[in-house]
Structure formats: structure tokens, C-alpha cells
Amino acid sequence: MAERTEASRTCSVVGCGKDVERSLGFKKVEESGLDIGEDVGRKAGLCKEHYKEYKKLTKKDRVLESIGR
């Protein structure tokens, strides 16, 4: 094992732990409904799968918003 960078190298979603594909603002991810547990800093890392889920969740939010109007 080489150097350990920040803890943000693995997915921030609780119980996941896969390699990070995208880094997103912690709050944004939290608001999307994904369970990323405690604040890990300014950024939350998401693996490929959870990034997909995040996009789905935020998309849904947007749709619901437009329906509500």
C-alpha cells in the first residue's frame, strides 16, 4: 500500500466502498436522498453505480417539481 490520500477515494455511500467515479458537493448528494452518513468534508465521492442513482434521484426531483407547478 502506498500513501493514503483523503478518505474520499471510496464511495461515500454508507455500506458501499467502491472506487470513486465522481466527486460532488456533500450537501447535494445528501439532499438527493443517498445515505452518505456523516459529513466527510466538502465533497462526497460516488462510485459509478451510486452516481447513476444520484442522477436518477435528482432527475426525479426535477420532474416532481415541474409537475407540482
- Among residues 34, 45, 50, 54, the one that binds Zn ion under rule CB under 5 A: 50
- Taking residue 9's Cβ as centre, other Cβ atoms within 10 Å add up to 11
Q: How far is the CB of 45 from Zn ion (least distance, A)?
A: 8
Q: How far is the CB of 60 from Zn ion (least distance, A)?
A: 18
11 lies in the site for Zn ion, by CB under 5 A: yes
20 lies in the site for Zn ion, by CB under 5 A: no
Task: Please write down the HEC assignment for all residues of the chain.
Answer: CCCCCCCCCECCCCCCCCECCEEEEHHHHHHHCCCCCCCCCCEEEECHHHHHHHHHHHHHHHHHHHHHC
Q: How far is the CB of 53 from Zn ion (least distance, A)?
A: 8
Q: Which residues bind Zn ion (CB under 5 A)?
A: 11, 13, 16, 18, 47, 50
